[in-house]
């Protein structure tokens, strides 16, 4: 059977279509994404502006047409921090439903952490033992840890790379005093969570998901995406520490010339690197392994599990 998940994030909206068969991993069939930057469309009062709402509705309309053309049996749609934190969330959801017919579910930060953890657990399997999972999005940082498919710890903190770049940096590259101030802020926020984050015990495997971590790993020598998902990719904290001063001195345009760094993500890469450094340092992680599955896959897996439990899953090769 063919299913689709629509992910509306702070930076991008993404439609992922997968083929699901009983006893097999969901296989990507097609993908469509667009950089909406919804977080940048928030007004001074915190509402999602009309331009952002229009862009969102336009993308969803096109994505639903794509899903229909691809023969999807259903589309599961969800939104994260940008819409979650908007002061007009209910109005936006109502407009989306009225214009497109889709019900956009707003996930909590903790739900994001749980679903991402589920995806990582399914990717690496039970032999990985105790997992610690880190994800840096545009609006928030998620941390989850545990030995089961449901994490014992699921945390979310507003330390997204896009948010921090907008709120803390005034120039490109930012002045050194701003970088120093942001670093202090990040470490304070993560430090307050350190006890909870490490409460599940020391991980047997520490894992990172999200574009920020993938780009940092690529800069530091990880294989490009063209090599496939089965290639092991890691991010060393020691190497990251060495690179941070260099990143801080580069403009966004210069960062975009680095391996694996996109023009759209380059402006927020420094803030993301500061979050990654603080998380690894304060939580005692020397190396992170990059997982190709993350929130979208976690949501698909949860939906498929629900179908199996309800006797509605009829997927067969």
DSSP string of 94-140, one letter each residue: HHHHHHH----EEPPHHHHHHHHHHHHHHHH-GGG-SEEEEEE-SS-
Q: With 70 as the cut, is the pLDDT of residue 315 above it? A: no
- For 157-172, the pLDDT digits (tens) are 999 999 999 999 999 9
- Rounded mean pLDDT of 54-79? 95
Domains along the chain with CATH numbers = 2-106 (3.30.420.40), 110-295 (3.30.420.150)
Model confidence at 316, in pLDDT bands (50, 70, 90)? low
Rounded to whole angstroms, the Cα distance separating 175 from 164 reads 14
- Rounded mean pLDDT of 210-217? 96
Q: What was the pLDDT predicted at 73? A: 87
> Average pLDDT over the chain, rounded to whole?
94
- Percent of the chain clearing pLDDT 90 (strictly above): 90
Q: Do 217 and 280 form a contact (C-beta atoms < 8 A)? A: no
Beta-carbon contacts of residue 165 (< 8 Å; ≥ 6 apart): 267, 268, 270, 271
Question: Is this prediction's pTM over 0.75?
Answer: yes
- Rounded mean pLDDT of 282-292? 97
Rounded to whole angstroms, the Cα distance separating 96 from 215 reads 32
- For 132-186, the pLDDT digits (tens) are 999 999 999 999 999 999 999 999 999 999 999 999 999 999 999 999 999 999 9
Q: With 90 as the cut, is the pLDDT of residue 307 above it? A: no
Q: With 80 as the cut, is the pLDDT of residue 282 above it? A: yes
Model confidence at 314, in pLDDT bands (50, 70, 90)? low
Q: What was the pLDDT predicted at 23? A: 77
Q: With 60 as the cut, is the pLDDT of residue 278 above it? A: yes
């Amino acid at each position: 059977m063919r299913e689709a998940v629509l992910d509306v994030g702070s930076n991008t909206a993404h439609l992922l279509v997968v083929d699901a068969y009983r006893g097999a991993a969901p296989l990507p069939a097609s993908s469509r994404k667009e950089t909406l930057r919804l977080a940048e469309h928030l007004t001074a009062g915190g509402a999602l502006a009309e331009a952002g709402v229009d862009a969102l509705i336009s993308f969803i309309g096109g994505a639903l047409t794509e899903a229909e053309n691809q023969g999807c049996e259903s589309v599961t749609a969800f939104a994260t921090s940008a819409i979650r934190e908007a002061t007009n969330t209910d109005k936006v959801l109502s407009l989306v439903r009225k214009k497109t017919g889709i019900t956009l579910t707003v996930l909590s930060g903790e739900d994001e952490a749980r679903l991402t953890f589920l995806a990582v657990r399914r990717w690496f399997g039970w032999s990985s033992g105790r997992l610690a999972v880190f994800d840096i999005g545009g609006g928030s940082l998620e941390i989850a840890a545990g030995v089961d498919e449901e994490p014992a710890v699921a945390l979310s903190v507003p330390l997204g790379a896009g948010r921090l770049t907008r709120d803390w940096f005034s120039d490109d590259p930012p002045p050194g005093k701003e970088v120093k101030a942001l670093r202090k802020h990040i470490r304070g926020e993560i430090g307050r969570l350190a006890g909870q984050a490490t409460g599940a015990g020391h991980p047997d495997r520490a894992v990172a998901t999200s574009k920020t971590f993938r780009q940092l790993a690529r800069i530091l020598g990880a294989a490009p995406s063209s090599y496939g998902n089965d290639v092991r990719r890691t991010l060393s904290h020691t190497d990251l520490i060495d690179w941070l001063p260099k990143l801080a001195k580069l403009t966004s345009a210069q960062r975009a010339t680095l391996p694996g760094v996109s023009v759209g993500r380059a402006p927020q890469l420094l803030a993301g690197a500061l979050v990654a450094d603080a998380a690894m340092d304060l939580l005692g992680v020397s190396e992170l392994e990059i997982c190709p599955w993350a929130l979208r896959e976690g949501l698909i897996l949860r939906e498929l599990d629900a179908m199996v439990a309800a006797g509605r899953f009829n997927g067969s090769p």
